[in-house]
Amino acid sequence: KQISGELQLRNCSEATIHSYVHVVERFARFFGKSPSTLGGEHVKEFLLHLKNNKKVKWATLQVNRAALRFLYVRVLKQNWFEEEIPVPKRRPYLPTVLSAEEITRMLDLTTNLKHWTIMALFYGTGVRANELRLLKVSDIDSERMVLHIREGKGQVPRDIGLSQPLLERLRIYWRWRKPKDWLFPSKQRSDQPMDEKTVRMVCRFAARRASIRKKVSPHVFR
């Protein structure tokens, strides 16, 4: 609760708050102790566990370090963190790239209209997963042919142009699903947006159906 409150006071995004709180909770469970009783050696052990045993990528390791840094430096007011915990070095890698044929195959083999529309939006606009799940019906401006992102990365709003075919697909989806508030509501709780994990699974399962062996995520469409 304390770290959540500190993040809210700094006007951090919902995604950042959720991510940091999750990291701290997992860190505490890993040792079975309160983080306030742990120190630098414990942080190193936890990060090495993520790197060597969980095989997480650089970005995930960096998020975990950033969350624990915020906990110890900002919340617990301890100054040893920067000196004792090195910043993980980023290794260059080739990003996953989908061909137009692979994307077409994914869409053609997706019969669920909601899932089809989600992937079409990813491909047609390049929005991020969290941006898509938080879209509301009112964010679509049909007259101007614009998609309004209310809270993008860094909480910066922006407008994205919509092509006529994509706008027509959104109309077809709306006439079928008739969403009232969230454009892509949760199946279990219609008053809540889809969970980000579910959005990612939509892309993963579509790739599996299309026999694509690459690791496909919403970010690949960007």
What's the pLDDT tens digit per position in 44-72?
Answer: 999 999 999 999 988 899 999 999 999 99
Q: Which of 81-85, 108-112, 114-118, 217-221 has the lowest mean pLDDT?
A: 217-221
Supply the mean pLDDT for the chain: 92
Q: Provide Rg for the chain, Cα atoms.
A: 20
Per the DSSP assignment, residues forming a β-bridge with 43 are none
pLDDT tops 80 at residue 220: yes
pLDDT tops 90 at residue 155: no
Tokens encoding 32: 């079975």
pLDDT for 195 equals: 92
Distance CA 101, CA 106 (A): 9
Q: What angle do CA 78, 16, 46 make, to 5 degrees?
A: 50
Alpha-carbon distance values, 20 to 3, 7, 15, 132 (Å): 8, 9, 9, 21
pLDDT for 188 equals: 87
H/E element holding 29? helix 14-31
Tokens encoding 134: 């938080």
Helix, strand, or coil here: 11? coil
Q: What angle do CA 75, 40, 53 make, to 5 degrees?
A: 110
Amino acid at 106: M
pLDDT for 125 equals: 95
Q: What angle do CA 102, 105, 193 make, to 5 degrees?
A: 95
Confidence label for 153 from pLDDT (cuts 50, 70 and 90): confident
Helix, strand, or coil here: 14? helix
CB of 199 closer than 8 Å to CB of 121: no
pLDDT for 11 equals: 86
Residue with tokens 């060597």: 52
